[in-house]
Amino acid sequence: MEINIESLKESNEFLNILFENITSAIFLVDQDIRISSINNSFQTLFYNHEDLILGQLCGNAIGCANTDNNNVDCGTTKNCESCTLLSSVKTGFIKKVPSQKQIITREFNINGVLIQKHFQFSTRYIRFNEQDMILVVIDDITEFEDQKKNLAEKNKRLEELNNQKNELLGIAAHDLRSPLSVIDSFAEIMQETVDDLKPESIKEMLKIIKNTSHNTLNLLNDILDFSKIESGTVELKKIKINYIRFVKENIARNEFLSLQKNILIEFSSDKEDIQLQFDPRRIDQVLNNLISNALKYSFPGNGIKIAVNEDNGFIITTVEDKGQGIPEKDIPHLFKPFSQASVKATNNEKSTGLGLAIVKKIIEFHNGLIKVKSKPGEGSSFSFYLPKL
């Protein structure tokens, strides 16, 4: 026997099966905005039994945070005025037209816990047994909306990284062109006039080539380091060692550069031995950068103070100079890639503009943080915090 679908739709049994087994939460609202009937999916979605729902105001029944947080009735808060669900229900009674699918996003009390939810709903006016009712259909699309938000954030991050990559390439190409041109020019001059050049001239040209090559290599190394760090491919190789001895050894290596500017490095600590777990190569890179910057922006004869202290579970390393200082407007941009302070190095030393950006990332990879204090004419102080445990 062939079944007529239209006849089936009109049967009470079919409608009951459909009403109780559809995955959407369905409920009927009367003209007082109180719930008069719900299906099984409503109870599953809102973790509320039918006995506790029937007769309740719409917002109270579904655990809307606007009513739940203030322990008030639905429709009485200032937030209720902008509630799209309440507005759609009221409009349905007045205009007797179905609503388009809309999304409502807010916190709901689900099983005793306030949870941010994204619900898609539609409303439809119906009249049954001489009563005006609004049929509301709700679907939980929280997972879909969260995935969409995460995807949008990832796309935004990818766009930022792509722009940063293009900026990096542009700046790198610009900054590499000049030193490479210098090396090329001097090499060409030496090649063409080597027989006529005096030894002093050759030494001077080789010195320029060496210094320029050194600066170019520093830039390339910083670009490679920064690219690795930004891509998240840096793997820290932490070992537990005496941090005081480690810092002193780093200072000893940097004293060669400091003495060239007649600058003394003074070290102090409230501890003789601090056992700390960290990546020696990366923290060595941090110290080299901070000490190098202190030397660059200090005048000959000035001193640099390096202190290591322990406070509130952190080992704090401070590099302080009495140099030119940094204008307040420059400080927020110091740790951005290729950011250059408006003050110039005292001996025209070169900077790649990536050092502090790399330093900040390395410290953050160690679950630490870095702070800076500076005042023009009085010097600067950079402190980085490494967690002891």
pLDDT, tens digit, 9 for 90 and up, residues 152-201? 999 998 888 787 777 666 666 666 776 777 788 888 888 888 788 888 88
pLDDT above 60 for 7: no
Give the residue, 7 or 357, on which the prediction is more confident.
357
For the purposes of burial, counting CB atoms within 10 Å of the CB of 293, is it exposed (0-12), middle (13-18) or buried (19 or more)?
A: buried
Residue 254 pLDDT: 85
Comparing 185-194, 236-245, 333-342, which segment has the lowest mean pLDDT?
Answer: 333-342
Confidence of residue 123 (pLDDT cuts 50, 70, 90): very high
For the purposes of burial, counting CB atoms within 10 Å of the CB of 210, is it exposed (0-12), middle (13-18) or buried (19 or more)?
A: exposed
Find out whether 107 and 116 touch, Cβ atoms under 8 Å: yes
Summarize pLDDT for 353-362 with one digit per residue, the tens: 778 888 999 9
User: Measured between alpha carbons, how far is 73 from 312 in angstroms, rounded to an integer?
Assistant: 48
Stretch 230-244: mean pLDDT, rounded?
84
The domain limits of the chain are 5-140, 142-233, 237-389
Residue 12 pLDDT: 64
Give the residue, 192 or 337, on which the prediction is more confident.
192
Residue 79 pLDDT: 87
Assign domain 237-389 to its CATH architecture: 2-Layer Sandwich (3.30)
Stretch 112-134: mean pLDDT, rounded?
91
pLDDT above 70 for 8: no
Give the residue, 260 or 277, on which the prediction is more confident.
277
Residue 197 pLDDT: 80
Confidence of residue 81 (pLDDT cuts 50, 70, 90): confident
Confidence of residue 3 (pLDDT cuts 50, 70, 90): very low
Give CB contacts under 8 A, 24+ apart, made by 255-263. Answer: 257/292, 257/295, 258/291, 258/295, 258/304, 261/295, 261/298, 261/300, 261/346, 261/347, 262/300, 262/301, 263/295, 263/298, 263/300, 263/301, 263/302, 263/303, 263/304
Residue 157 pLDDT: 84
Q: Is the pTM of this model over 0.75?
A: no
Confidence of residue 217 (pLDDT cuts 50, 70, 90): confident
Residue 350 pLDDT: 64
Residue 257 pLDDT: 78
CATH annotation of 5-140: 3.30.450.20
pLDDT above 80 for 4: no
Give the residue, 320 or 161, on which the prediction is more confident.
320
Summarize pLDDT for 54-67 with one digit per residue, the tens: 999 999 999 999 88
pLDDT above 50 for 1: no
CATH annotation of 142-233: 1.10.287.130
